[in-house]
Chain A
Amino acid sequence: MSVAEQTQESTLPSLTIVKDAACTFCGCVCDDMELTVENNRITKAKNACVLGKAWFLNHHIDDRPDATIKGQPVSYEEAIEYAADILLNARNPVTYGLSDTTCEAQRVAVAITDWVGGTVDTTTSVCHGPSGMAFQGVGEVTATLGEIKNRADCVIYWGGNPAESHPRHFTRYSLTPKGQFLPNGRKDRYAVLIDVRKTKSAKAMDEFIQIKPRCDFELIWAMRALAKGVEVGPEIEQKTGVPLAQLQALVDRMKTAKFGVILFGMGLTMTRGKHMNTEAVLSLARDLNKFTRWTAKPMRGHGNVTGADNVVSWSTGYPFGVNLSRGYPRFNPGEYTTSDLLLRGEADAAMIIASDPMSNFCQQARDHFVRIPTIVLDPKLSESAKVATVAFTTATYGINVAGTAYRMDDVPIYLRPAFQSKYRSDYEILKAIETRIRERQLAAS
């Protein structure tokens, strides 16, 4: 198992500077942080954006019990044994979350789920899961963020607000940086935002296209038609709110760009049409390769959600929503995805790693969650941790724990921790649970 490199650059009494640290708050995973650490607090986070600063500067180690069983403080060892009990006694446990932890921990979580024959699902299912399904349908033409920085002279943001959700995406990767083949940076790029709302991102664009809600699919399909030279009627404006002439001009521009990219957000995946919307946008980018180079990329959210997709895929062959109860992996979104398993009352235990379904899931799912035995691993108190049968307080990945996280473009980034936590990492706790489960399974067989 991977071990941390030396993390300390220069050490004065109680003052440490950690260079090249990564921020795992959003999917950008910017790895150029320079953190000043004083007495187990990060006092400066050079290069961090507003979200990154909030991530680092607010980070403190809560004074909470290491673990609790039914709300009562217990030792790690007792909680680990109890967690193993829950998982071994369940017939259909679900493992969920995983986007805010290291790949090392994700791998153990998948292993545990395999050994006990449960379901493993990640926050992908309520994020870009539909993009994953679209990917299975049509594929994807894409590139790493550095490639976009170096080449993309036409950038279309669709159904997202990177200025607020991925604040450094504009300046570090896609809009303003000077690139290898774009020496003048912003001036060499044409940027468009397509969204229902004129968000803060619109200000940074050359063109903003306001689309009526729930008409993304129709607009994308019209653009595919125009790109192929198929006639589109003026009624497209009534349907989507976008005049035909504006659309035609945009498509013409896309066809004559040297290298284009569509960066799409959850405005496509969370709204009506879901994977049909993302399948359409992936198809549009693909089609344009007949004329010039075009790519597309989902703007993935949480720090290591992309790593979760990768780990679950290489372990099982499927990216999320994987059921292992028959002894081999099966995949079916809507059936083996966590929201569905809970609201139908099918899961009889749950293990949540760094996620909070009690805050984010629909009411029926939450109602079921409190009825079943649950294990929650989280650095902070959450609604889910409050109701968990077994709750572990964990060290925060990236800040207190070394490991790997994958950027939204699947580039793996090494995480250099700033300082140690008194709590154990997800990896350590999960590994201990796995060890107990294996000992008991092998003793029984």
Chain B
Amino acid sequence: MPETFILIPGRTSRQGTTLNEGKYTDDYKDETNTLIASGDDMRRLGIADGDLVRMWNEVGSVVLPCKSASAGEMPSGLLFISYGPTSCHLMKAETHGSGMPDSKGMDVFLERVATG
């Protein structure tokens, strides 16, 4: 049974700078298509830095590399991804009458797919 996590997409400095370089640059794609997890969670799930993981929910599924957060940055159970096309792929359509889809705090499943 895959574990459930809470995914928080957000802005990063590199996301901002690479966005200016262009959405079709390797750096932008790399930045917005890399998952960050806590070291503890990665060890428990046998994920090494750079391994490919599958992350999915009822909306969609993505396969992407996973990297360890810096020490103390992320509590267990939380995942972070730089805001971009990949994070939006898992975003639910429902806005609960606000116009704003649930763009942070998404429930997702995570499993290791392959060595990076």
Query: Which residues of A come within 8 Å of B, CB atoms?
Result: 25-26, 50-51, 53-55, 58-59, 121, 125-126, 129-130, 133, 161, 163-165, 167, 196-200, 210, 212-214, 266-267, 269-272, 274-275, 301, 320-321, 333-335, 337-340, 343, 356, 359-365, 380-383
Contact = CB atoms under 8 A, between A and B. Distances in A.
Nearest to B75: A210
Interface residues of B, number: 41
B13 A50 contact: yes
A214 B105 contact: yes
Contacts of A121: 99
Contacts of A58: 20-22
B60 interface: yes
Interface string B86-103: 001101110111111111
Interface string B46-59: 00000000000001
B99 A337 contact: yes
B92 to A, nearest CB: 7
Given A51-B16, A337-B100, 8 more contacts: A197-B8, A197-B74, A197-B75, A337-B95, A339-B93, A359-B85, A360-B88, A380-B22
Contacts of A333: 95, 97-100
Contacts of A360: 85, 88
B104 A54 contact: no
Contact of B93 (A54, A59, A210, A362): A362
A364 B91 CA distance: 10
B26 interface: no
Nearest to A167: B13
Given A165-B16, A363-B89, A339 B8 contact: no
Nearest to A341: B99
* B75, B80, B95: residue with the most chain A Cβ atoms closer than 10 Å: B95
B116 interface: no
B100 to A, nearest CB: 5
A133 B101 CA distance: 15
A163 B41 CA distance: 26
Nearest to B7: A213
Contacts of B115: none
B99 to A, nearest CB: 3
A270 B88 CA distance: 12
B63 interface: no
A239 to B, nearest CB: 15
A272 B7 CA distance: 12
A340 to B, nearest CB: 6
B20 to A, nearest CB: 4
Nearest to A380: B22
Given A197-B74, A363-B59, A165 B11 contact: yes
B104 A126 contact: no
Nearest to B11: A165
A359 B84 contact: yes
B11 A161 contact: yes
B16 to A, nearest CB: 4
Given A129-B100, A271-B105, A54 B78 contact: no
Contacts of A26: 16
Nearest to A382: B23
Contacts of B12: 161, 164
B23 A359 contact: yes
